[in-house]
């Protein structure tokens, strides 16, 4: 039975002369693997809709080990992502992170929407890359069930100190005084905490609507990455390159 679905190509692997194996993120079915035969040929009907980061309407048929792409119509191809090395590297990291947390056969509509919005912002350069990165990382973990407790200090409830300690392994917050008692150095400022709270607690369409000084935003971006790697216990191959090009 055929499956009709929209989906975003997160990964492509060339096989044979002109075939591709695609990893596709879909709203209703999560991650799917599909073979796009002859899709690397310029005149093939699948060429325009099955490339990396193409968001397309797919018609799939079940095969022996994976789906077979029968038809594909492009909706958005995100050419703008290729305008900069930094933007492309960030998109590659986002795709790997999404493929890591998404599951086959499970709904992924919110993750797909977040990824599409992030790709749009990277391409249009409407927000700083560090800001896009931190929002995507934290919202992705939120959707995957890794919600940190950052309303106030986990020991005394205070949210009034100028600096805090965000515990990466527990996702818990310590105020400056309680952090000192356990011998932990502060790693997040009050303004960074406010930005982090906005990213996580606001409506999805408003998550990017905040401002932070560039240096503070870069620091929060690094903290978000450390939190992702700690919670998922995973080192991303694409992150190694991203960290060499994104200051």
In the chain, what percentage of residues exceed pLDDT 70?
100
The Cα angle at residue 48 between residues 42 and 50, in degrees rounded to 5: 110
Q: Confidence band (pLDDT; 50, 70, 90) for 107?
A: very high
Residues 134 and 12 grouped into a single domain? no
What is the domain-level CATH number for residue 209?
A: 1.20.1440
Domain check: are 15 and 133 in the same one?
A: no
Measured CA to CA, the distance from residue 81 to residue 90 in angstroms comes to 9
Specify if 175 maps to a domain: no
pLDDT at 188 over 90: yes
In a domain, 27, yes or no: yes
Other CB atoms within a 10 A radius of the CB of residue 63 amount to 12
**What length does the chain have?**
247
135 secondary structure, DSSP code: H
Same domain, 114 and 225: yes
Report yes or no: 55 and 80 within 8 Å, Cβ to Cβ: no
Judged against a pLDDT cut of 90, whether residue 77 lies above it is answered with: yes
Q: What's the confidence (pLDDT) of residue 109?
A: 97
Same domain membership, residue 128 and residue 199: yes
Reported as a pLDDT band with limits 50, 70 and 90, residue 242 is: very high
Verify that 95 and 215 share a domain, yes or no.
yes
What mean pLDDT comes out for the span 155-175? 96
Q: How many domains does the chain have?
A: 2
Quote the domain boundaries for residue 232. 84-148+185-245
Q: Is residue 18 part of a domain?
A: yes
pLDDT bin (cut points 50, 70, 90) of residue 1 is: confident
**For position 151, what pLDDT does the model report?**
95
Is the predicted pLDDT of residue 205 greater than 90, yes or no? no
Same domain, 127 and 206: yes
Indicate if the pLDDT at residue 6 is higher than 90.
yes
What is the per-residue pLDDT for 80? 94
pLDDT per residue over 91-101, tens digit each?
999 999 999 99
Q: Are residues 19 and 100 in the same domain?
A: no
Same domain, residue pair 99 and 211: yes
Of all residues in the chain, the percent with pLDDT exceeding 90 is 94
Band (247; pLDDT cuts 50, 70, 90): confident
End-to-end CA distance of the chain: 48
- Backbone phi, then psi, for 103, in 5-degree steps? -120, 150
pLDDT-based confidence at residue 235 (cuts at 50, 70, 90): confident
Do both 15 and 103 map to the same domain?
Answer: no
pLDDT computed for residue 243 by the predictor: 94
* pLDDT band at residue 185 under the 50/70/90 scheme: very high
Look at residue 158 in the predicted model and tell me its pLDDT: 93
> Please, which residues have CB within 8 angstroms of residue 90's CB and are 6 or more apart in sequence?
122, 129, 132, 133, 242, 246
In a domain, 236, yes or no: yes
Question: What's the token pair of residue 228?
Answer: 């992702």
Q: How far is CA 158 from CA 53, 110, 165, 173, in A?
A: 43, 32, 12, 10
Give the three-class secondary structure for 56. strand
Does residue 169 lie in a domain region? no
Asked if pLDDT for residue 64 goes beyond 90, the answer is no
Longest dimension (CA), the chain: 67
């Amino acid at each position: 039975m055929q499956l009709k679905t929209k989906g975003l190509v997160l990964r492509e692997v060339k096989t044979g002369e002109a075939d591709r194996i695609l990893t596709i993120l879909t709203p209703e079915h999560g991650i799917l693997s599909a073979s796009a035969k002859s899709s690397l040929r310029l005149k093939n009907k699948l060429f325009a809709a099955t490339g990396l980061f193409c968001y397309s309407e797919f018609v799939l048929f079940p095969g022996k080990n994976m789906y077979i792409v029968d038809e594909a119509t492009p909706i958005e191809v995100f050419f703008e992502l290729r305008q900069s090395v930094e933007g492309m590297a960030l998109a590659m990291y986002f795709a790997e992170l999404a493929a890591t947390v998404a599951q086959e056969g499970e709904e992924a509509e919110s993750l797909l929407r977040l990824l599409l919005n992030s790709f749009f912002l990277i391409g249009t350069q409407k927000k700083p890359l560090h800001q896009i990165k931190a929002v995507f990382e934290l919202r992705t973990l939120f959707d995957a069930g890794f919600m940190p407790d950052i309303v106030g200090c986990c020991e005394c409830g205070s949210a009034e100190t100028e600096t805090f300690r965000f515990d990466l392994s527990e996702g818990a917050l310590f105020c400056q005084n309680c952090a000192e008692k356990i011998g932990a150095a502060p790693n997040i400022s009050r303004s960074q905490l406010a930005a982090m709270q906005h990213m996580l607690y606001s409506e999805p369409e408003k998550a990017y609507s905040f401002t932070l000084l560039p240096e503070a935003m870069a620091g929060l971006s690094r903290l978000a990455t450390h939190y992702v790697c700690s919670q998922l216990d995973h080192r991303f191959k694409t992150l190694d390159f991203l960290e060499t090009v994104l200051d």
